Amino acid sequence: MPGGNPAESERRRFLYSDLEILVRRGYLQAHVPFKGIPLMFRTISDRSRTELIARSGREHNIPWMQWVVAHSLFMVDGFIIPSTDNTPYYIKKYFLDRLPTPFLRVLFSVVMGLQRRTQRSLPKLEAFCYEPFSRTLWRTKSFAKEGANSVLDSWVAFHQGEDGRLLDASAWVRTQTIVGSMSAKGAKSVKRALEQESQKEDSRRIRVIEDTVNEVINGKQRETTVMVNVGGRQMEMPIVRGAQTIAELEEEMRKAMAGELDGHDVQVQQYEEDVRRAVKDRAAKAQARRERESQMGELMQQAGIGGSTKLVGYEAGQLPTQSSAGVKTQATSSSSHRLFDRYLRKEVGVGVLGKTGPEPLKKGSLHEQLEGRKVRLSSDLIPTGKVRGPQ
């Protein structure tokens, strides 16, 4: 199901609380006590916002604050103020014009707080549309009247498009049935293409939800690049992550076959070169040490300095009776040497499969390589004595 597991979706549902209210009710609201009388304010609708701009203009002053509060006031002591074109005018003239400026600023901050909550919820709208419970709200018609706010309008437009996408998918299923009656291979091809497209879209939607949740938890969007020191230079490189979709996996395969290196590949290549260089240096030092020891032995023999060592052997039956105390064992090679011999001793370059084995990757596009190929026809006769068909 798009959006992942419904149980996991319900656990993160609280992240979309303001969005769900904007969809279900059509507005956010806030209660404020004023001299013992409860006032209720709500977010300004798109239609009312157009009238607000026409009345107040865009200059932020006291009259503008009065008009904002007037357009947002919805209920006074439980009485719903009738919504007409001139209702904000009467609220401003008979209430807000007589209200002291400090009180006006408090009420204005409440209204702006609702506006900020709406703005903070907008980046989560796409992820909210992909959640299973969002689709349930659409199917059960549990949403406010259209035109209440831009969030609701965008949500409705998405689910209308989703209905069309599901109808297209159903039509493709019928197409697959028809193709299957004529060609089983063609039906499998259509089915495989539809499944790949569905998996790609589901993976993309889950990725959007994960990014949204990470942004809410971390308080900022995840960085996509990082500065890395490569070869003494500061380079901006993308953060490497594993392939999440089939398309990303195909793109990684294409880059690997073409020999394209990203920031991570450059770092790994530099590390391997450093390891090979260090191994060569150690081997050179060990060879120089052995040569010095050989020369020293020759000089000692020439000077008559030396001695002999007597070796004592044991038969197979005598070995169990000998004490193992003082016996030392020494590994012939370390694990690091074995790993180096296995992975880094041979430099594996980018290539392709040739006639006799791996071949270096040729420069130029695939079209140029195909143009350079020559077709050769064999002059050998076809063996006789073979009869096709029933005997």
Bridge partners of 358? 353
Kindly list the distances between the CA atom of residue 236 and the CA atoms of 3, 28, 37, 271, 272, in Å, as whole numbers in the listed order.
33, 42, 59, 18, 21
Q: How confident is the model at residue 109 (pLDDT cuts 50, 70, 90)?
A: very high
Give the N- to C-terminal CA distance of the chain in Å, as an integer. 56
Host H or E run for residue 36:
none
| pLDDT value at residue 77 | 93
Look at residue 230 in the predicted model and tell me its pLDDT: 64
For 32, the token pair is 């404020």
Distance CA 68, CA 105 (A): 11
Tell me the two tokens of residue 14: 């609280």
| Percent of the residues in the chain that have a pLDDT greater than 70, as a whole number | 72
333 C-beta neighbours (distance < 10 Å), count = 9
> Between these two residues, 116 and 148, which has the higher pLDDT value?
116
Task: List phi, psi (to 5°) of 380.
Answer: -70, 140
- The four Cα atoms 18, 20, 23, 25 give a dihedral, to 10 degrees, of -80
Residues 6+ apart with CB under 8 A from 103: 34
Encoding tokens for residue 99? 């209200």
The larger pLDDT score, comparing residue 73 to residue 380, is at 73
Reported as a pLDDT band with limits 50, 70 and 90, residue 112 is very high
Using the predicted structure, report yes or no on whether residue 228 has a pLDDT greater than 90.
Answer: no
Q: Which residue has the tokens 């076809």?
A: 382
CA distances from 162 to 102, 169, 207 (A): 49, 10, 18
Q: For residue 360, what pLDDT band results from cuts at 50, 70 and 90? A: low
Predicted confidence (pLDDT) at residue 333 exceeds the cutoff of 70: no
Contact 79, 37 (CB under 8 A): no
Is the entire prediction scored with pTM above 0.75? no
Of the segments 191-205, 253-267, 330-344, which one has the largest average pLDDT value?
191-205
Q: What is the pLDDT of residues 27-75, one digit of tens each?
A: 999 999 998 999 999 999 888 888 888 888 767 789 999 999 999 999 9
Q: Which of 15-24, 50-59, 231-240, 327-336 has the lowest mean pLDDT?
A: 327-336
**Does residue 223 contact residue 239 with C-beta atoms inside 8 Å?**
yes
Across 48-52, 55-59, 86-90, 191-195, least confident range: 55-59
Calculate Rg over the CA atoms of the chain: 39
- Name the band, by pLDDT with cuts 50, 70 and 90, for residue 316: low
pLDDT at residue 200 is higher than 80 = yes
pLDDT at 125: 94
Q: Whose structure tokens read 């209920």? A: 75
How far apart, in whole angstroms, are the C-alpha atoms of residue 185 and residue 317? 73
pLDDT, one tens digit per residue, over 158-187 is 999 999 988 888 888 888 788 777 888 777
Tokens for 274, please give them.
């450093």
> Which amino acid type is present at position 58?
R
Question: Residue 30's pLDDT is what?
Answer: 94
**Which range has the worst mean pLDDT, 78-82, 146-150, 224-228?**
224-228
Structure tokens of 258? 């073409």
Q: What tokens does 51 get?
A: 């009238």
> Is the model's pLDDT at 331 over the cut of 60?
no
Q: How far is CA 26 from the centre of its chain?
A: 32
* Residue 335 pLDDT grade (very low, low, confident, very high; cuts 50, 70, 90): low
**Helices 150-182 and 132-139 sit at what angle, rounded to 10 degrees?**
90
Summarize pLDDT for 255-299 with one digit per residue, the tens. Answer: 777 777 776 677 777 888 888 888 888 889 989 988 888 888 788
Domain 17-124 of CATH type 1.25.50.10: no
Distance of CA 85 to the CA centre of its chain: 48
Out of 147-156, 216-225, 363-372, give the one with best mean pLDDT.
147-156
The pLDDT confidence band at residue 330, using thresholds 50, 70 and 90, is low
- Closest C-alpha among 9, 216, 223, 13 to residue 120: 216
Lowest mean pLDDT among 11-20, 22-31, 213-222, 223-232: 223-232
Please give the torsion angle defined by the CA atoms of residues 158, 163, 166 and 168, in that order, rounded to the nearest 10 degrees: -100
Judged by average pLDDT, the poorest of 107-121, 129-143, 303-317 is 303-317
What is d(CA 256, CA 275) in angstroms, rounded to the nearest whole number? 22
Q: In the chain, where do the E strands start and end? A: 29-34, 37-42, 73-76, 79-80, 225-230, 233-238, 351-353, 358-360
Q: CA-to-CA distance for 386 and 266, rounded, in angstroms?
A: 58
When pLDDT is averaged across residues 295-312 and rounded to a whole number, the result is: 72
Task: Quote the pLDDT of residue 25.
Answer: 92
Compare 260 and 126 and report the one with higher pLDDT.
126
